[in-house]
Amino acid sequence: MHAPLAPTTHLPIGSDADLAWVRQQVRKTATDLGFGLIQQTKLVTATSELARNTLVHGGGGHVEVTPLRAGHVCGLRLSFVDAGPGIRDLDLAMTDGYTSGGGLGLGLSGAKRLVQELIVDSCPGRGTTVTVTDWASGLPAPRTGTR
């Protein structure tokens, strides 16, 4: 239904440095697609949370970045893929404040509030794929450098 606007890029998630690179690439792609500053900030923050989950809980993986287009609107789909332990109880994992480690437990639930669509596809013992889709709202992105 939503035609890809450009081919999918794969970025590895295997270290803290990779996380920084993924955030930068998503920010750049979102800017190019016309995402406004606030939406961009939200999407990049969700990216940071999900990519870190892929790294910390999933033991590393990759993200697939696909620019989309539906009519005149541009969007971005991000799939965070790992082959880690998977999530046994998804409702619990999506609960504010639930963490199996020492986190705040706000990554997954918070990310869902930051984007328009978030789908978790997890198979215990096989891995987790979290896919977010966000469409640029009608407002044009503010130009940087001009006031």
Partner 1 sequence: MAEQHDVTPEVAQELGGFLEQRREQIAQRWADAALFRTVFTVSRDEAVEACKAVVDALADVACSGRLEDIHAPGFDTVREQLSRMAATRAQAGFSPSQVAGEVAGLRQPAAALLQAEFDDPRAEHAHACALALTVLLGTLRLVVMETTVNSGEALIARQREQLLEVATPVIKLWENIVAVPLIGTLDSARSQVVMESLLEAIVHERARYAILDITGVPTVDSLVAQHLMKTVAAARLMGAHCIVSGIRPAIAQTIVHLGIDLGTITTRAGLADALAYALGQQGIVVSPSPAAGAIPR
Summarize as ranges the residues that interact with ligand ATP (CB under 6 A).
49, 53-54, 57-58, 82, 84-87, 93, 98-101, 103-109, 128
Cα separation, 64 vs 28, whole angstroms: 15
**Binds Mg ion (CB under 5 A): choice among 58, 61, 84, 107:** 107
**In Å, how far are 3, 9, 40, 75, 138 from 35, measured between CA atoms?**
18, 19, 6, 8, 9
Residue 121 tokens read as 């596809």
Cα separation, 32 vs 89, whole angstroms: 37
Is 18 in a helix, a strand, or coil?
helix
Question: Percent helix, strand and coil across the chain, each rounded to 5?
Answer: 35, 30, 35
Of the pair 68, 87, the CB lying nearest Mg ion is at: 87
Interacting residues with partner 1 between 89 and 118 (CB under 8 A) = 96, 103-104, 106-107, 109-111, 113-114
Partner whose binding site includes residue 20, from partner 1, ligand ATP, Mg ion, none (CB under 5 to 8 Å by kind): partner 1
Of the pair 89, 96, the CB lying nearest partner 1 is at: 96
* Binding stretches for partner 1 (CB under 8 A): 16, 19-20, 23, 27, 37-38, 40-42, 44-45, 48-49, 52, 96, 103-104, 106-107, 109-111, 113-114
